[in-house]
């Protein structure tokens, strides 16, 4: 009996089968496989998260509704429009009961035309970036947003002022829905103010998400720096008040000599006109812990009508955001025009720009127009024709401000300018 003839077809071993591509399927090249792997990793790195935070959900809904409205009108062959408040002092009102400069009813309308198609595309692309950042729990600075547009072909920005303008328009537009730029995840590159005193800031680790407790009494001769976004912060304090200080030099003096400890307060350096983050931090902290805010700035038209006014009621250019970034219950501790007389302070002559700024505040600024105490104080300064700095108190000794001036002023808080 002859043995059965073996089949000439060789049975594929598992190893061999693994090497053979299936019918109708092209074998992937190593280069393509590498690209696919990179794409997978990139997808994982930018995976969407489920948006559960109420603020983020509201922001995403506003973005979606805006995009749907534009898309819906285009399908109906109707030119879509984007509306935003007119950002100028002429479209601002002030009600002392509200406590800050409010945006008026005038609106700027941009209609989709041949001339505006690029700015429309840029606005929608920017909104898409915002939505993606919320879903990925990340952010972009204004500079980064400009560079992201370099992938937008004909819609890309040529210079950063273009992207800044679009971002400002978006922020203005969404302010009508109670949404700020920070909630859209576009963060300013400016630094926040410095903080020292009886305060524990409750933050979270940006990588692990774990809670961080930051004790503002433990920075030695340094201080805690306010981050660019403060919405997620919590606070613990038994301080009696917040002292917002114009200059870094005066802040350092009060910090090094422990004024915050002897007076049981929180001191914050504004560093000139306070940044958005600084104003929002002061606002949230003071409201959360129900403690008063006192401003300590130079006695000159700039310190009064720019620095203090911006802290308390906001500004005309950002009236659409003042409800987020101002501290209506703040009061002016000093230096006042009357302090110049009472403390016999060294002075400098008012410059032409100072006089113009003071007169402009009296004539055009709704906040000063409706405040008799401030009308009296500014007119007194104009009559005196001088200005004085915080540091002028050093005439009586380097620590006179700590030992005499501030304790004396703090005994008469009801006399503070509004």
CA angle 396, 345, 222 (to 5 degrees): 60
Spell out the long-range contacts of 349-355 with Cβ–Cβ below 8 A and sequence spacing 24 or more.
349/385, 349/386, 349/387, 350/300, 350/301, 350/381, 350/382, 350/385, 350/386, 350/387, 354/300, 354/301, 354/302, 354/387, 355/301, 355/382
SS3 call for 333: strand
**Residue 355 to residue 336: CA distance in whole angstroms:** 16
Q: Which of 71, 147, 224, 332 is catalytic?
A: 147
Strands 140-141 and 92-94: unpaired
| CA atoms of 161 and 36, how far apart (whole Å) | 37
CA gap 95, 364 in Å, rounded: 15
Measure Cα distances from 209 to 142, 203, 241 in Å: 25, 9, 31
Number of other residues whose CB lies within 10 A of the CB of residue 34? 11
Is 233:206 a contact under the CB 8 Å cutoff?
A: no
Rounded CA-CA distance 356/362 in Å is 10
147 is an active site residue: yes
Q: What angle in degrees, to the nearest 10, is found between the helix axes of 54-75 and 160-175?
A: 100
| Sequence-ordered list of residues with C-beta below 8 angstroms from that of 239, at least 6 positions apart, any chain | 197, 198, 199, 260, 264, 265, 266, 289, 291
Q: Which helix (H) or strand (E) holds 283?
A: helix 276-289
Count other Cβ atoms within 10 Å, centred on residue 178: 13
Non-local (6+) Cβ contacts of 330 within 8 A are 244, 282, 293, 294, 295, 308, 311, 312
C-alpha neighbours within 13 Å on the C-beta side of residue 376: 7
| 85 contacts 175 by C-beta, under 8 angstroms | yes
Provide the sign of the torsion angle of the four alpha carbons 40, 44, 45, 51, taken in this order. positive
The residues carrying an active-site annotation are 147
């Amino acid at each position: 009996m002859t043995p059965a003839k073996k089949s000439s077809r060789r049975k594929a071993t598992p190893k061999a089968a693994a090497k053979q591509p299936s019918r109708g399927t092209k074998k992937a090249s190593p280069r393509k496989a590498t690209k696919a792997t990179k794409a997978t990793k990139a997808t994982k790195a930018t995976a969407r998260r489920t948006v559960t935070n109420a603020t983020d959900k509201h922001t995403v809904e506003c973005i979606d509704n805006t995009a749907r409205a534009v898309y819906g009108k285009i399908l109906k062959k109707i030119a879509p429009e984007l509306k935003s408040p007119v950002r100028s002092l002429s479209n601002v009102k002030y009600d002392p009961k509200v406590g800050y400069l409010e945006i008026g009813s005038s609106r700027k309308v941009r209609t989709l035309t041949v001339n505006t198609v690029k700015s429309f595309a840029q606005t929608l692309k920017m909104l898409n970036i915002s939505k993606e950042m919320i879903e990925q729990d990340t952010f972009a600075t204004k500079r980064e947003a400009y560079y992201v547009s370099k992938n937008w072909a004909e819609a890309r920005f040529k210079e950063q002022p273009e992207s800044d303008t679009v971002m400002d328009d978006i922020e203005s537009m969404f302010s009508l829905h109670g949404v700020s730029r920070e909630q859209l995840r576009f963060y300013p590159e400016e630094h926040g103010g410095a903080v020292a005193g009886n305060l524990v800031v409750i933050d979270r680790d940006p990588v692990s998400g774990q809670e961080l407790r930051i004790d503002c009494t433990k920075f030695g001769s340094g201080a805690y720096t306010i981050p660019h976004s403060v919405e997620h912060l919590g606070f613990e304090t038994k301080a009696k008040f917040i002292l917002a200080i114009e200059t870094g030099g005066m802040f350092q003096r009060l910090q090094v000599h422990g004024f915050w400890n002897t007076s049981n307060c929180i001191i914050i350096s504004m560093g000139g006109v306070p940044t958005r983050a600084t104003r929002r931090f002061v606002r949230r902290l003071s409201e959360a812990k129900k403690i008063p805010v006192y401003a300590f700035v130079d006695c000159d038209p700039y310190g009064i009508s720019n620095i203090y006014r911006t802290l308390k009621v906001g500004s005309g250019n950002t009236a659409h955001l003042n409800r987020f970034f101002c501290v209506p219950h703040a009061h002016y501790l000093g230096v006042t025009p009357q302090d110049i007389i009472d403390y016999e302070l060294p002075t400098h002559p008012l410059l032409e720009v100072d006089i113009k700024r003071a007169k402009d505040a009296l004539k055009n600024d709704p906040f000063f127009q409706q405040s008799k105490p401030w009308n009296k104080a500014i007119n007194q300064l104009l009559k005196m024709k001088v200005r004085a700095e915080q540091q002028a108190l050093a005439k009586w000794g380097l620590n006179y401000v700590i030992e005499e001036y501030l304790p004396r002023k703090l005994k008469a808080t009801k006399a503070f300018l509004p």
